[in-house]
Amino acid sequence: MQRTRSGRKSTTDPAAAGKPGRAKQRAVCIASLPAGEDFAELEELLRTAGVAVVGTLVQHRQNPHPNSYLGPGKLVELAEYAKECDANVIACDDELSPRQERNLEQELGIAVVDRTTVILDIFAAHAGSAEGKLQVELAQLEYNLARMRGLWTHLERLGGGIGTRGPGETQIETDRRLARDRIAALRRRLAGVQSSREVMRAERSRARLPELALAGYTNTGKSTILGALTGGAVPVADRLFHTLDPMTRTLRINGRAYLATDTVGFIRKLPHQLVDAFGATLEETRRAALIVHVADASASDDELEAMKRSVEDVLDEIGAGEQARILVLNKIDLLDAERLTQVRNGNRDALLVSGATGEGIEALRERIEEEFLRTLRSVDLLLPYADGASLAELHDLAGELQREDTPEGVRVSALLPPAAADRFERYAVNGARGANGAGRTGASSPAEHR
């Protein structure tokens, strides 16, 4: 990229600048900001969507223009700049109102997409499961419902008075009705999918295994860490929003079994349509007893803080803001010694790991166990010899336990999650129920974990 006048950047790459081998879609990124400029995330989104970025343009103003996003003078400059860069798409770093999008396209004569459209397109490309495809279609329909008017302007007849109910308006209303019917049908189907997911959750809950969720900014390596923690095969790729459907794997630490779930990644200005549509998926994060917040250690300090804030905002929005959590900085294998020291000194409360090389993964496993041990309850049980199934289940739940064979049955001392301890209360010796060795009963407060 080379900087041009007015703070613009244009590319010198022949593939993107109109020479042989150029990209099919070539975008100029635009933004309206009070100060500064940062197109890194939008450029990465476009790259993931298969669009080449050929230039950027920023207008510094307190608020975007209500009708055209950019001011009239800047629009003239943008039209010239788009021709100079041989762009055929304008990509906006904000969500445009239907009026802003329509006016921009009319003024510039080329396609205009906003940040939400790009993200929805990526989700549509990466959705693999039936549920994921339904969620993406629902989000797209809800977003496009208010933007249908522009599709039928060629059919409009008169601007007012008698005859205004021409074929254009009739077709718009027909399409809107069809879209609303489809949205209602999708919501019903997703409700059915959510019921099936609830059944699976109930099965897992019956096992009473402690649950943790990996959450964080998109493309920070959550799936890689899940694979490193569990030793299982987890699909990974260096692209935004590779994981849309939650993946749950069994994690064993010192013999105790845990359920670890990798969830959809978050992003700055995550569209509300996606938060609503992916409610069933995000539910996995809200229900987890512990959240492992994964961030990218290779990002700059400002980027890292912005990413962490974005994730915290989404966790608050979905009702998971008070969950206990561990901050993990991944990708330390990409840092030199000096930068690694800076990151470590600036994030004393974080664990530094590399999911790719395995460095720090054992420390993360120990920290997960430590966090869950705070919530465990000490039990003293006497199980009849005939109930071997309960004894095997105790081994799964407790990992290491103390047992003694007595004439009456198997005497067991163990640390169990509170829900499991309640379930085995009928075997308690003299009604024994107590806290663990640390003197705690039940779960500690979220504030103690953070």
Query: How far is residue 55's CA from residue 28's CA, in Å, rounded to a whole number?
Result: 5
Can you name the residues that pair with 378 across neighbouring β-strands? 415, 434
Query: How far is residue 314's CA from residue 37's CA, in Å, rounded to a whole number?
Result: 23
76: pLDDT strictly greater than 90: yes
Strands of the sheet containing 52-60, edge to edge, are: 2-3, 9-10, 52-60, 26-33, 89-92, 111-114
73: pLDDT strictly greater than 80: yes
Cβ contact 412:383 at 8 Å: yes
Instruction: Name the percent of the chain lying above pLDDT 70.
Output: 77
Superfamily grouping for domain 209-372: P-loop containing nucleotide triphosphate hydrolases (3.40.50.300)
Beta strand spans in 77-153 (E)? 89-92, 111-114
CATH fit for domain 375-444, picks 3.30.70, 2.60.40, 2.40.128, 1.10.20: 3.30.70
* pLDDT (0 to 100) of residue 344: 93
Query: pLDDT by residue (tens digit) across 300-309?
Result: 898 899 889 8
Query: pLDDT by residue (tens digit) across 182-194?
Result: 989 988 888 877 6
Superfamily grouping for domain 2-119: GTPase HflX, N-terminal domain (3.40.50.11060)
pTM over 0.85: no
H or E stretch covering 414: strand 409-416
Query: pLDDT by residue (tens digit) across 202-231?
Result: 655 555 678 899 988 888 889 899 999 988
Query: End-to-end CA distance of the chain, in Å?
Result: 42
Query: pLDDT by residue (tens digit) across 93-151?
Result: 999 998 999 999 999 999 999 998 998 888 888 776 777 788 888 888 888 887 775 44
* pLDDT (0 to 100) of residue 306: 86
The most confident of 91-100, 157-166, 313-322, 427-436, by mean pLDDT: 91-100
H or E stretch covering 163: none
Cβ contact 280:197 at 8 Å: yes
Query: How far is residue 99's CA from residue 68's CA, in Å, rounded to a whole number?
Result: 7
